[in-house]
Structure formats: C-alpha cells, structure tokens
Amino acid sequence: MLLLEFQSFLLDGLLNTLFLSSVMIVGGTLFAVIFAAGLSAQSAWLRRPVYGLVECLRDIPLMVTVLMVYFVLPHAGLSFNPFWSSALSVSVWGGANGAHIIRAGLLSVPSGQREAALSSGLRGWKGLFLVILPQAMPVILPPYVSLVTSLTQASSLGAVLGVNELLRSAQILIEQTTIARGGSPAYLVYGSILIVYFALCWSISALGAKLERHFAKPYLRANGKTQPAAPTVALQATMT
C-alpha cells in the first residue's frame, strides 16, 4: 500500500506539523498576553496604537501576512527561513485574535473579586493567578480552544513557503508517485491527511472541554451555577 510504503516520509511531515503547530500556539499565546496587556493599559497613548495594530492583523488575510513576512520583511533587514516565517506570521495573527479573548475573559470577572483578593493580601500577580484568572478561564477557554485549532490548521500554510510539514509531504508524495508510476493517488493521500488533521483538532477540542470543566468545577460547587460566586466564596474555592 502506498501510505505504508512512504510512512516514514509522511511521519516526518506529521512531526514537523506538530512542532510547527506547537511553536505557533506558544507564540500566539505570548503575543495574545502582550496585546491584551496593551489593550487594557491605562494610557491611551499605548492602548490606541495597540488596538490599531491588533485590528490590522485581524483584518488582513492570514495568507497575505505569511507572504509579507517571508517576502517583504527581508527588504527591511529582517530575514527568516520558511519555517520561522510561517511560525511568526501565524503567531502574530493568533495573538491579535487571542488578545480580545483574554481581555474579555478578565473583564467578565466582577470587580468585587479583585477587592476580595486585595483584602486577603493577594496583590499583583498573586491575585491575578490565584483569584482572577481561574474565574476567567471558563470564559476564555471555549473561544481560545477554537483559536488553537485554527492555529493548528494554519500550520498547513507552511506548505506555501516550502516547509516540509504534513501537507507539503503529501504534495511531494503525489508528484513523485504520479511521475514514476502514472495515475494520481491524490484522493488516497489527501483523504488520509484530512483524517489526521481531524484527529488533531478533535483531540484539542476534547482536551479544551475537559479543562473547561476542571476550571468551572470550584464555582459549580460554590453556588451551583457557572457564574462567579460571591467574592469570599469564590476566593475560598480558588484557594482550596
């Protein structure tokens, strides 16, 4: 069978896809945190430029961003190989979309929760990570998991620049076997690639649903519903 004959070649492409997707997810999350901090800044001089940058990145087609990073940035003295051009462009795009998700999640936590954290001596980062962020996670996770699946799917754009990821490996396999043996195995190869991408994205969605239930559990126990509990009750649920 063709797929078994070239399984090591396709496996290398799959591993490159997993690595590229991981870099995009981590990079996108870092950019999302940075952009969200800028959007939440007190100073309008910082907030407005960040807002303009985020909206531009969200409105420009992702393929155009990928091509601009690879072909245009070298003229400004910033040159990246195909792998890092793909990773950087998709990470920045993911960060722009993730920034609004994170900011909306943090704003969904009532101000009373922040006051409860301060009154309990949890200031700054401690209050954010121990009280605010756990309550914001049930709001952040569903759309952010969807973003993560989009970033995983966007790893296939690396094929446009010649990155030897799963889709590019499939294209090379089809071209070589068509020339050497005649006939096109495209339906078999692309069908298998479709199943692999579906399995990856389904696994991410299932993991996201499990994490969502995990973060919602303390507040379900506290007041029997998904809305934030009263400040003192929510704080106790977070600390336990």
Tokens of 121: 């001596």
Which pLDDT band holds residue 212 (cuts at 50, 70, 90)? confident
| pLDDT tens-digit map of 26-49 | 999 999 999 998 998 888 899 999
Question: Is pLDDT of 117 > 90?
Answer: no
Report the C-alpha gap between 15 and 121 in whole angstroms: 46
Q: Is the pLDDT of residue 203 over 90?
A: yes
pLDDT band at 94 (very low <50, low <70, confident <90, very high): very high
Integer Cα distance of 129 and 172 in angstroms: 46
5, amino acid identity:
E
Residue 223 has what pLDDT?
54
Largest CA distance in the chain: 74
The DSSP code sequence of 53-68 is: HHHHHHHS-HHHHHHH
Q: Summarize the confidence of residues 143-163 as an average pLDDT.
A: 95
Amino acid identity at 216: A
Note whether 94 and 147 are within 8 A (CB).
yes
Phi/psi for 97 (5° steps) reads -75, -35
Q: Domains of the chain (ranges plus CATH)?
A: 2-239 (1.10.3720.10)
Task: Give the residue from 103, 109, 126 showing the smallest Cα distance to 47.
Answer: 103
pLDDT surpassing 80 at residue 147: yes
